[in-house]
Amino acid sequence: MRTRFAPAALAAILVACGGEQPPEDETARDLALAPAESVATLNDQPAVQPPAAQPAPETPRRTPPREAPVRQTPTPAPVAPTLGEGTTVGLAASDTLTSRHNKKGETVTATATADIRDERGRVVIPAGALFLGVISDIAPAESPGGQGRLVLTFNQVEIGGNRYPVAARTDSVGSYMKGRGVTAGDAAKVGAGAVVGAVAGRVIGGDKTGTIVGGVVGAAAGVGIAAATKDVDIILAAGAPIRLVLTAPFTRT
């Protein structure tokens, strides 16, 4: 059998023996290696870099719309209870007043007999409120059958311990007239008249009959004097009605 040496083995033997290397066999090239020169077309363009990762866009923050400020309608101030001009107020006299004992300028009081309400139905002056005033004028009748004078002026009212000014005129009072009768002074006048009459009768008649007639005439004259000077008082009894009319609005604060 013929032994075949591979060219590579033969070359190795020759080298070992000091001989020259035989020319390289072109056929001995490792055909598996890539050729030294590449015939592939070179692309001189720079390598395409992958796009850099872009940060995710930030979601814009939505600013909530400003709410328009709520305009609060100011609460109207409460209207104080008020009575209008011309309102009538019924009172009851606290004490008895008479032209025989009371004088002009003295203080007087009276109480409201019922609640006085405003247009809204609110009580402005409650029943029992105390009215304070003065006697502006008072006088008995100037003659029998005449009328005396009694004028009351109220300028304050007390409610719950507080006093308020009030402007009002007295429209009417429940007064009445009463004669005083024959007083001790009147009786003295009657007696004096009788004495004068008796003296006059004696002088005129010159006897007892004239004296008697003169006494009768004198007594009659004395009674006439007493009747002419007899006073008739005006009286306002305690509890009697008094009616006021407001001459200006009254407000209770």
Q: Where are the domains of the chain?
A: 82-176+233-251, 184-229
**31 Cβ contact list (under 8 Å, min separation 6):** none
CB atoms within 10 A of CB 246: 18
Q: DSSP class of residue 160? A: T
Q: Give the separation between CA 120 and CA 114, rounded to whole angstroms.
A: 17
- Report the pLDDT value the prediction gives residue 213, as an integer from 0 to 100: 42
**230 Cβ contact list (under 8 Å, min separation 6):** 144, 179, 180, 181, 182, 186
22, 29, 32, 59 from 35: Cα distances, Å: 23, 10, 9, 57
- What is the distance of C-alpha 42 from the center of its chain? 102
- Per-residue pLDDT reduced to its tens digit, 215-242: 444 444 444 444 444 689 999 999 999 9
Burial of 239 (0-12, 13-18, 19+ CB in 10 A): middle
3-state secondary structure of 169: strand
Query: 193 or 142, which is more confident?
Result: 142
pTM equals 0.55
| 62 pLDDT tier (thresholds 50, 70, 90) | confident
Helices 208-229 and 184-205, packing angle to 10 deg = 150
Structurally, at CATH architecture level, domain 82-176+233-251 sits in Beta Barrel (2.40)
- Report the pLDDT value the prediction gives residue 234, as an integer from 0 to 100: 95
Query: 229 or 120, which is more confident?
Result: 120
Question: Do strands 149-159 and 107-112 pair parallel, antiparallel, or not at all (unpaired)?
Answer: unpaired
Q: Give the separation between CA 193 and CA 182, rounded to whole angstroms.
A: 15
**How confident is the prediction for the chain on average, in pLDDT?**
75
**59 Cβ contact list (under 8 Å, min separation 6):** none
N-to-C CA span, the chain: 149
- What are the tokens at 134? 């003065």
Burial of 154 (0-12, 13-18, 19+ CB in 10 A): buried
Q: Give the separation between CA 17 and CA 219, rounded to whole angstroms.
A: 211
- Per-residue pLDDT reduced to its tens digit, 148-167: 999 999 999 999 999 999 99
